[in-house]
Amino acid sequence: MKSVSPQGCLRGFGVGVLVAAAVVDVLNTGAAGYGVWPVAVVLLAGLTAVLWPSDRRPAWLTPELRTAVPGALSVLLTVGSLLSGRRYPFGPGEVIVLLCLLFVAVRHCGPRWALTCAALDTVALLMTPVRYARSLSDDDALAYIAIGLVLVGLTAGFAGYLRSLDYRRTVAVGETRRAERLAIAADLHDFVAHHVTGILVQTQMARMMAATASDELDPVLAGIERAATEALASMRRTVGVLRDTGAEADRRPVGDLAAIAELTDGFPAPGQKVTLDRAPGLDTEVPHEVQSAAFRVVQEALTNVRRHAGDATEITVGLRRAGDRLEVTVTDDGHGSAPLPDAAHGGGFGLVGLTERVTALGGTLDAGPRAAGGWTVRALFPLGKG
Cβ-contact 305, 238 below 8 angstroms = no
Cβ-contact 309, 338 below 8 angstroms = yes
The fraction of the chain above a pLDDT of 70, given in percent, is: 73
Q: What is the pLDDT of residues 312-325, one digit of tens each?
A: 888 999 999 888 89
Q: What is the mean pLDDT of residues 47-68?
A: 90
pLDDT at site 135: 62
Cβ-contact 163, 107 below 8 angstroms = yes
Least confident segment among 27-36, 236-245, 356-365:
236-245
Cβ-contact 149, 126 below 8 angstroms = yes
- In the predicted model, is pLDDT for residue 33 greater than 90? no
Q: pLDDT grade, residue 211 (50/70/90)?
A: low
Least confident segment among 299-303, 327-331, 332-336:
332-336
Q: What is the pLDDT of residues 234-273, one digit of tens each?
A: 666 556 555 554 444 444 445 778 888 888 888 777 778 8
Cβ-contact 320, 327 below 8 angstroms = yes
pLDDT at site 121: 94
Q: What is the mean pLDDT of residues 175-181?
A: 69
- In the predicted model, is pLDDT for residue 170 greater than 50? yes
Q: Mean pLDDT of all residues in the chain? A: 79
- In the predicted model, is pLDDT for residue 371 greater than 80? yes
pTM of the predicted model, to two decimals?
0.52
Least confident segment among 166-180, 320-334, 356-370:
166-180
User: In a 3-state reduction of DSSP, which class is residue 382?
Assistant: strand
pLDDT at site 328: 94
Residues in the chain: 386
pLDDT at site 350: 60
pLDDT at site 73: 94
User: In a 3-state reduction of DSSP, which class is residue 309?
Assistant: coil
pLDDT at site 53: 87
Cβ-contact 61, 7 below 8 angstroms = no
Instruction: Kindly state the helix (H) or strand (E) to which residue 181 belongs, with its residue range.
Output: helix 139-212
pLDDT at site 163: 93
Q: pLDDT grade, residue 215 (50/70/90)?
A: low
pLDDT at site 28: 84
- In the predicted model, is pLDDT for residue 151 greater than 90? yes
What are the boundaries of each domain within the chain?
A: 6-134, 257-386
- In the predicted model, is pLDDT for residue 117 greater than 90? yes
pLDDT at site 252: 40
Whole-angstrom distance, CA of residue 365 vs CA of residue 382: 12
pLDDT at site 359: 81
Taking residue 218's Cβ as centre, other Cβ atoms within 10 Å add up to 9
Cβ-contact 195, 231 below 8 angstroms = yes
Question: What CATH number is given for 257-386 in this structure?
Answer: 3.30.565.10
- In the predicted model, is pLDDT for residue 213 greater than 60? yes
pLDDT at site 247: 42
pLDDT at site 173: 73
Q: What is the pLDDT of residues 5-14, one digit of tens each?
A: 556 666 777 7
